[in-house]
Amino acid sequence: TVSAAVTETKSTCPYCGVGCGVIIESQGTQITGVRGDPDHPANFGRLCTKGSTLHHTAAQPITLQSRLLQPQRRMVRGEAPTAIDWTEAMGLAADQFHRVITQHGPDAVGFYISGQLLTEDYYVFNKLAKGLIGTNNVDTNSRLCMSSAVAGYKLTLGADAPPACYDDLQFADTLFITGSNTAYAHPILFRRIEDARRANPRMKIIVADPRRTETADVADLYLPILPGTDVALFNGMLHVMLWEGLTDHAYIAEHTNGFEVLRDRVRDYAPKEVAKLCGISEDALLQAARWFAGVQPQHSGKPRRSTLSLYCQGLNQSSSGTMKNAALINLHLATGQIGKPGAGPFSLTGQPNAMGGREVGGLANLLSAHRDMSNPDHRAEVAALWGVPDVPALPGKTAVEMFEAAADGEIKALWIACTNPAQSMPDQATVRRALERAEFVVVQEAFATTATCDYADLLLPATTWGEKDGTVTNSERRISRVRPAVQAAGQARHDWLIATDFAQRLEARLRPGLPPLFPYDTPEQVWNEHRESTRGRDLDITGLSYAKLDATPAQWPYRDGETQGKVRLYEDGIFPTADGRARFADTPNEPLAEPRDARYPFSLNTGRLRDQWHGMSRTGTLGRLFGHVPEPAIEMNEQDMARMKLADGDLVHVTSRRGSLVLPVQASTQVQPAQSFIAMHWGEEFISGSSSTGERLAGVNALTTPAYCPRSKQPELKHAAVKILKA
């Protein structure tokens, strides 16, 4: 036999928002290797355990057990689906959605999509829902990931745009890492933090987190704040800065509005009370405020040292997520720590393309290219771009609302793409009721193993990493190409193509004879349309093309005629608000949605493991990744375990107001007394349980609360009150 030559293809890692470049090696139809792309500015050749084992996950025997390889229809719920061809599948989908729309109106359907889709996929789904059907019921698992960051940026800086970049790590004198276990969730960025620390031994690292994570291990100052006290901490730090004269009066006067209201607010946040509320020492609070402000000892007149904040789900996944984001940004504005090298608030995106989804407006309350749904001029611009009479004005159902509406019978047809809500959404009892009650459920997926597949009336096989073609945007606004190394497995099709086919069929039913809205044959055509929609906007990418991105990934904005993107935003002190000034937000400290009480005396926190990704569809197939943490457990403080006479490995019932799980317990030095932690990845193969009314449930989201931030609608996945009893 003659073996095929090895082909190398540059692409992007499909896991986290660091967005590392990879080089895929393939032979014929097989992906045989992967290594870091030394030329990619996100990672310069490095990969973490997940990225460096991608080829093993792609080289799994591709069978009906692991991948969806052909469209399937489930004639009777609860029974096995049967194979059908694509024409029949797409005709069925179009008929069912058309029936529901005609009988019940456009808002009776909903699309729940994913931050793991490519920008092109996102674009078509968004246009399909808002432009063709006329519903804003298109939301995504990015709602569970980044919507508080979006709301926080817009409230204070005027636009959803992370102002800093990865290179700022090397210029920062103080790093404030809050609500982020960067070491586990963004490993290659953490390597860059370690590099920066080595190059600048004067750098101070502050970590604020209820859990003493691996990230906290590198901190010069660790603040073990109690759950839900982030805003109190930030307001308390500002109080100290004001008291000690550490704010930047000139910056506040020249570039901001609203400081007086905030100053009055934080007057009540005296260090002693704040320290007590947060569960930290007063000295630690004072130290954090001084380091953050970047003022040299004794006000020596030297320029301020630079402070960069990194934050993620600890701030976002909260019933006061927007306030937490805004209170942190307040600190940057009050000290002028923004728009200069090594400074700024820098939200890290959990998913690989949460940013791209936001750019195309792929959420229920957003419009294309950062336009505002509530602005009639913006709606008219989008309608004109798409060639439709109008787009709906009222926000659609966000993630939690969408499944609650389906559980209530209001949404009757659901289209779920590239995500697994039957594991990843909070309050699983409601989600599963929604999937059962909906009249028609389409699941568009690469993997056959997700819990949501069991609820599908129609299963549509999608391509996945190594097969897909398009673009993604990482945390630092950098757009990278995703390229196919091998052909699609089985009959799998690209997500944008499935959405386009469906849209064309629905178009023929809803607006026959009118010019086509979805004339796409390639992902590049979709991207070019998206690019045009950004013209004149803050994220303008009219100077970019697939060809330029093929040469090198680039940051936005990158306007027509420019030769490079913008590394750092707001260097001129002008913000994308009506008067060009940033806005301080008035940020009261709001209580947890579900505080601990006598019946549910433990706080439950959730989060990532180093070597797993989301619901483990891909990473769960590799023993090498599984070996890091082979079993689920609930982590508790050893004092609590001693008091409750629990030993490592003992089984416990963990119960919230919504459900109950049985799990082994494990002593942890990371978890404080009266707190507990369960990793988010384990699904029904690993953790079984039941709802409060006896339905079978699984995974940590049997316990979590659907309470969400009223501004961002992001649910509070980071805190639920639970009781823990020996089984």
Q: Is the peptide bond before 557 cis (omega within 30 degrees of 0)?
A: yes
Number of residues that bind ligand SF4 (CB under 6 A): 14
Nearer to ligand SF4, 47 or 216 (CB): 47
Closest separation in Å from C-beta 293 to ligand SF4: 31
Kindly list the distances between the CA atom of residue 332 and the CA atoms of 306, 328, 473, in Å, as whole numbers in the listed order.
Answer: 10, 7, 24
Shortest separation between residue 209's beta carbon and ligand SF4, angstroms: 19
Min separation Cβ 32 and ligand SF4, Å: 18
Q: Which is nearer to ligand SF4, 186 or 378 (CB)?
A: 186
Which residues between 490 and 549 bind ligand SF4 (CB under 6 A)? none
* Nearer to ligand SF4 (CB atom), residue 48 or residue 293: 48
Q: What radius of gyration do the chain's Cα atoms show?
A: 25
Contact 322, 178 (CB under 8 A): no
The whole-angstrom separation of Cα 701 and Cα 345 is: 30
DSSP codes joined into one string, 6-72: EEEEEEE-SSSTT--EEEEEEETTEEEEEEE-TT-TTTTT---HHHHTHHHHHTS---TTTB--S-E
Site string for ligand SF4, 25-64 (x = CB under 6 A): ------------------x---xx-xx-------------
**Minimum distance of ligand SF4 from residue 460's CB (angstroms):** 26
Q: Residue 213 corresponds to which tokens in the numbers above?
A: 């994570």
**According to the binding rule CB under 6 A, does residue 619 interact with ligand SF4?**
no
Find the binding residues for ligand SF4 in span 185-204 (CB under 6 A): 186-188
Q: How far is CA 306 from CA 218, 296, 334, 344, in A?
A: 19, 11, 13, 8
- Interface with ligand SF4 includes 20 (CB under 6 A)? yes
Q: How far is the CB of 629 from ligand SF4 (least distance, A)?
A: 16
Cα gap 623→465, rounded to integer Å: 20
User: Helix or strand or coil: residue 86?
Assistant: helix
Residue 411 in contact with ligand SF4, rule: CB under 6 A: no
CB of 541 to ligand SF4, least distance (A): 21
Among 10, 11, 19, 451, binds ligand SF4 (CB under 6 A): 19
Q: Which 8-state DSSP code applies to residue 3? A: P
Smaller CB distance to ligand SF4: residue 148 or 480?
480
15-23, 490-498, 600-608, 676-684 -> range binding ligand SF4 (CB under 6 A): 15-23
Lay out the site mask for ligand SF4 across 623-662 (x = CB under 6 A, - = otherwise): ----------------------------------------
Question: Are the CB atoms for 178 and 315 separated by under 8 Å?
Answer: yes
User: Closest-CB residue for ligand SF4?
Assistant: 51
Min CB(682)–ligand SF4 separation in Å: 19
When the beta carbons of 322 and 612 are compared against ligand SF4, the nearer one is: 612
Amino acid at 183: A
Per CB under 6 A, which of residues 159..188 are in contact with ligand SF4?
A: 186-188
Using DSSP's 3-state secondary structure scheme, residue 238 falls into: helix
Q: How far is the CB of 18 from ligand SF4 (least distance, A)?
A: 4
- Interacting stretch for ligand SF4, rule CB under 6 A, among 10-18, 319-327, 434-442, 635-643? 10-18
**Sequence-ordered list of residues with C-beta below 8 angstroms from that of 484, at least 6 positions apart, any chain:** 9, 463, 466, 467, 468, 469
Given the rule CB under 6 A, which of 12-20, 411-419, 691-699, 712-720 is the region that contacts ligand SF4? 12-20
CA 279 to chain centre: 28
**Residue whose CB is less far from ligand SF4, 45 or 258:** 45
CA distance 126 to 118: 12
Instruction: Give the E-state strand segments of 355-503 in sequence order.
Output: 366-367, 371-372, 413-417, 440-445, 458-461, 470-473, 478-482
Closest CA to 84 of 368, 391, 458, 632: 458
Q: Which is nearer to ligand SF4, 188 or 451 (CB)?
A: 188
Q: HEC states along 377-402?
A: HHHHHHHHHHCCCCCCCCCCCCHHHH
CB of 457 to ligand SF4, least distance (A): 33
Instruction: State which of positions 681-720 bind ligand SF4 (CB under 6 A).
Output: none
- Told to check if 472 binds ligand SF4 by CB under 6 A, we report no
CA gap 19, 353 in Å, rounded:
8
Report the Cα 693 to chain-centroid distance in Å: 31
* Residue 471 touching ligand SF4 (CB under 6 A): no
Residues near ligand SF4, by CB under 6 A: 13, 15-16, 18-20, 43, 47-48, 50-51, 186-188
